[in-house]
């Protein structure tokens, strides 16, 4: 076969530490049909540096994807290292999926130091699963930013995304050109089921979680601003609020241009 005939398949990477949250992530993954995609389940045994001491046991769980998931291949990888680095460096992945632990705040290894670290500026699109049922309703947050556009593009790339009940959510915070953002987002649905549109007024970090609590979509799609440190504490984090509420799964993306 010539090089020109080789087709690169999208790769879904699922972080699997054997915890109940990973069971939820696995259930979400296998509840959908990934025609043409490859799956890699990655278990990371944490070590502070290469060859360093291992920090605590991680349970590697054998999992078999059902035929209905339609993956072209399924592989399991056991890696020793820093899970944040291992997942952040998977630039070859089309999507990274991990579960969400929650103990009153973003605590625990995978949903504290790892998930919280990754959601700030994910190197590739990231899905944080808080429930495992199939996606039927989706809220897509649009603000005209490059990160929001990347999140929307990622949603469209999912092989099961067409035909879902989608709502575009735009928040007029005095700085966002809501009309332009909505027009651009609606244009991406040409040939697809037209989305509904919701406009809210106020701060996004309050209005978006409020919409999600009211409507309870299965999936929320949004771009991350990538704020860190004092800027993040001052501006607040929409993502942190959504993770705390645990109402919907989150599909996140960040653009380096933002």
HEC secondary structure over 106-166: CCCHHHHHHHHHHHHCCCCCEEEECCCCCCCEEEEECCCCHHHHHHHHHHHHCCCCCCCEE
Identify the CATH number of the domain defined by range 137-253. 3.40.50.620
What are 249's strand-pairing partners?
219
Any residues with CB less than 8 A from the CB of 74 and at least 6 apart, and which?
Answer: 38, 39, 40, 41, 64, 65
- Bridge partners of residue 90, in order along the sequence: none
- The whole-model pTM stands at 0.86
- Domains 3-129 and 137-253 in one fold: yes
Q: Look-up: residue for tokens 């942190």? A: 240
Length of the chain: 258
pLDDT tens-place string over residues 87-137: 888 999 999 999 986 443 333 333 445 777 777 778 899 999 999 999 999
**Residue range 168-211, pLDDT digits in tens:** 999 999 999 999 999 999 999 999 999 999 999 999 999 999 99
pLDDT in tens, 36-79: 999 999 998 877 666 666 666 567 788 999 999 999 999 999 88
Residue 185 has phi, psi (to 5 degrees) of -70, -40
Query: What secondary structure letter does DSSP report for 128?
Result: E
| Cβ–Cβ under 8 Å, residues 128 and 122 | no
Write down the pLDDT at residue 223.
92
**What are the boundaries of each domain within the chain?**
3-129, 137-253
Task: State mean pLDDT over 28-42.
Answer: 97
Tokens of 87: 């997942």
Backbone angles phi, psi at 171, to 5 degrees: -115, 120
pLDDT score at 182? 97
Average pLDDT, the chain: 85
CATH code given to domain 3-129: 3.40.50.620
pLDDT of residue 236: 44
218 with 248: CB under 8 angstroms?
yes
């Amino acid at each position: 076969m010539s090089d020109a005939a080789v087709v690169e398949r999208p790769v879904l990477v699922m972080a699997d530490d054997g915890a109940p949250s990973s069971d939820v992530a696995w259930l979400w993954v296998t509840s959908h049909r990934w025609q043409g995609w490859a799956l890699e389940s990655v278990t990371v045994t944490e070590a502070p540096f290469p060859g360093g001491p291992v920090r605590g046991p991680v349970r590697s769980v054998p999992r078999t994807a059902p035929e209905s998931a339609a993956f072209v291949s399924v592989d399991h990888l056991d890696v020793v290292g820093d899970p944040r680095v291992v997942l952040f460096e998977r630039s070859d992945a089309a999507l990274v999926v991990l579960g969400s632990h929650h103990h009153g705040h973003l605590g625990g290894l995978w949903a504290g130091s790892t998930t919280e670290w990754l959601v700030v500026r994910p190197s590739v699109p990231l899905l944080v699963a808080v429930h495992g049922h199939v996606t039927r309703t989706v809220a897509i947050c649009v603000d005209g930013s490059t990160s929001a556009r990347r999140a929307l593009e990622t949603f469209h790339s999912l092989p099961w995304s067409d035909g879902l009940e989608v709502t575009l959510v735009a928040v007029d915070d005095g700085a966002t050109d809501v009309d332009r953002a909505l027009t651009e987002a609606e244009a991406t649905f040409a040939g697809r089921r037209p989305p509904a549109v919701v406009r809210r007024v106020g701060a996004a970090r309050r209005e978006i979680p409020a919409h999600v609590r009211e409507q309870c979509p299965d999936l929320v799609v949004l771009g991350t601003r990538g704020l860190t440190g004092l800027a993040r504490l001052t501006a607040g984090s929409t993502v942190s609020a959504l993770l705390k509420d645990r109402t919907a799964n989150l599909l996140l993306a960040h653009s380096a241009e933002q």
